[in-house]
Amino acid sequence: MFLRKAKFYKEALILLGILTYAYLVNWQSGNIGVIPIDSFGFLDTGYSIIKGHLPVRDFWIFTGLIVDYMEAAFLYLLGNNWNSHLAHSSFMNILGTLGLYLFLKEYQLKNFHIVFYSLSFATLCYPLSGTPFAYIHAYIFSLLAVFSLLVAIKKKSKVLWFLLPFICVFAFLSMQTPTAYILIILFVLIIVNFFNEKSTENLKFFIFGSVTSLILFLFFLFVTKTPVINFIYQYILFPLTIGEGRITSKDIAYIGLIDQLNFKRLFGEFKFIHLFLIPLIFFTIKNFKKNSKNLNFLNSTIIFSVFAFIFNQLITANQIYIFSLIPILGAILHINLINNKMNLRLFYVIIFFVLFATVKFHLRFNVDRKFHDLEGVDKSQAIYANKINKNFNHLKWISKFEDPQNELKVIEKAIKIIENDNRKKILITHYQFMSTILDKPLNLLNRWYLWDNNTHPTENHKYFEVYKSLINMNIRNNKIKVIYLLGQENEIKFENVKNYFTDTCFESNTIIPKRFSEHKLINCEK
């Protein structure tokens, strides 16, 4: 009894150490540098939710719904500040790490190896961004769905079969892709498992979970008075046009799949993933000959999931965020070596390459901040952002755009003017933290403002009138008197904005040339 308790406490302490590391390594990374459109993307949307200004219903989003509401929860519980923002992403890093740890515990790996792969994952998962990022939320929830399905089948767990749809819903409401690709894979695997088991027992719990999660989501829309049609337009139909444009390389897309299908992109940037993926494919083919059903199912699920994640990376313009697949693939390959009773020296080869990749990408992405385009930027020039507001405690401000002194000077001036303006107003900016630090609603129109049909419909888009209607409703309902524009040099032009409004004229005033401007709404008859 004593030995069992001692073992339990030892494992609990080890797990606590791993999760603490997962939190701190993301915290450290998230405090180094910014790229405004990504670093602050969910601060003001989370704050807006607290104040009753809701995404989909009141302002346009095309992804990240669950991320917005999670952000609101962290801001509400921990305060409207940068620390709460990082606590959100650090929590997600913990969640992903815990999921992998528990998943690997179900297989024949030694505790030391499980700890090693978990720490590697924690290093390479969320810290690449550091701050809440919809793709990484979806990636983590998708991985948890894959892990849950595999363990549910292995242990015949009815609880996991029931919870699986909920995890999938969280993944999809974080980001439609890569979730949609993973959902297709999981659906096929569930069908395959059904025919293998020839039992409806597990399927019943899965269907029950699916129906329950759908009802709860519809109930959520009802409670928040969010029209279903708004959700369909913003979260389903409009993103489909983005995906279609990228896959078919249409002119409306700023990136096309055909442009990504080259050796450098396919193999050069994912070489460490392929380093583990190729031998895993070899083992899977070998195991098929041995008729190792359980191992084959594990391998096939992981392989197809990895292909789905790579495909998603190819049709997005984002930095690579899937390097944490390396320790997962290393662990799965490790499991295959054990099952095939291979030479122990090969274990050390796997561990060496996982360790090498972890250190390499940690230095390049987490320390040098490549994910935020700060690779090569002199980070010794960074300024603590509490210079503009105490709520930015710990953040070292530097971006790729300009000297941080100049950038913060512009932001400070904008803050003073907006703070002293008592009119009902809208701020259009990628510095999406103004509402949060000023603690006053600035009536968001969008989360992001890119005028190329990638964040919202523009005039040449078939859903432009839908978007325009939502914007004008926002203006009327909130009795807006003035619109402010704040950005990098010529980043946000009023010529692009004014076309959204019906029967509205403006009196414009440039405050900081090419950076900050004021546009007073006036009666067109005047």
Side chain identity, residue 244: E
Six-digit token string for 37? 């459109």
Laid out side by side, the sheet with 505-512 consists of: 425-429, 482-486, 516-522, 505-512
Sign of CA dihedral 236, 237, 239, 243: positive
Beta strands in 177-288 (DSSP E): none
Compute the distance between CA of residue 60 and CA of residue 62 in angstroms, rounded to an integer. Answer: 7
Residue ranges per structural domain of the chain: 133-226, 403-522
Does residue 127 have a cis bond before it (omega within 30 degrees)? no
Under 8 Å between Cβ of 408 and 387: yes
Q: What is the pLDDT of residue 25?
A: 98
Picking from 245, 279, 285, the residue whose alpha carbon sits closest to that of residue 457 is 245
Which backbone phi and psi does 454 adopt, to 5 degrees?
Answer: -105, -15
Picking from 103, 38, 123, 91, the residue whose alpha carbon sits closest to that of residue 323 is 123
Strand partners, 516: 486, 512
Compute the distance between CA of residue 249 and CA of residue 255 in angstroms, rounded to an integer. Answer: 7
Rg of the chain over Cα atoms, rounded to whole angstroms, equals 24
Which backbone phi and psi does 270 adopt, to 5 degrees?
Answer: -115, 20
Indicate whether this model's pTM tops 0.85: yes
Picking from 96, 41, 90, 66, the residue whose alpha carbon sits closest to that of residue 366 is 90
Side chain identity, residue 15: L
Q: What is the pLDDT of residue 75?
A: 97
Per residue in 330-342, pLDDT (tens digit) is: 999 999 998 877 7
Q: List the pLDDT tens digit at each of the 526 positions of the chain.
A: 666 777 778 889 999 999 999 999 999 999 999 999 999 989 999 999 999 999 999 999 999 999 999 999 999 999 999 999 999 999 999 999 999 999 999 997 899 999 999 999 999 999 999 999 999 999 999 999 999 999 999 998 999 999 999 999 999 999 999 999 999 999 999 998 888 877 788 889 999 999 999 999 999 999 999 999 999 999 999 999 887 766 665 555 556 666 666 666 777 789 999 999 999 998 888 777 666 677 889 999 999 999 999 999 988 877 899 999 999 999 999 999 988 777 778 889 999 999 999 999 999 999 999 999 999 899 999 999 998 888 898 999 999 988 999 999 999 999 999 999 999 999 999 999 999 999 988 999 999 888 778 888 988 889 999 999 999 998 889 999 999 999 988 888 888 888 888 777 889 999 999 999 999 988 776 5
Which backbone phi and psi does 515 adopt, to 5 degrees?
Answer: -125, -50
Per residue in 239-262, pLDDT (tens digit) is: 998 877 666 655 555 566 666 666
Q: What is the pLDDT of residue 251?
A: 55
Q: What is the pLDDT of residue 260?
A: 66
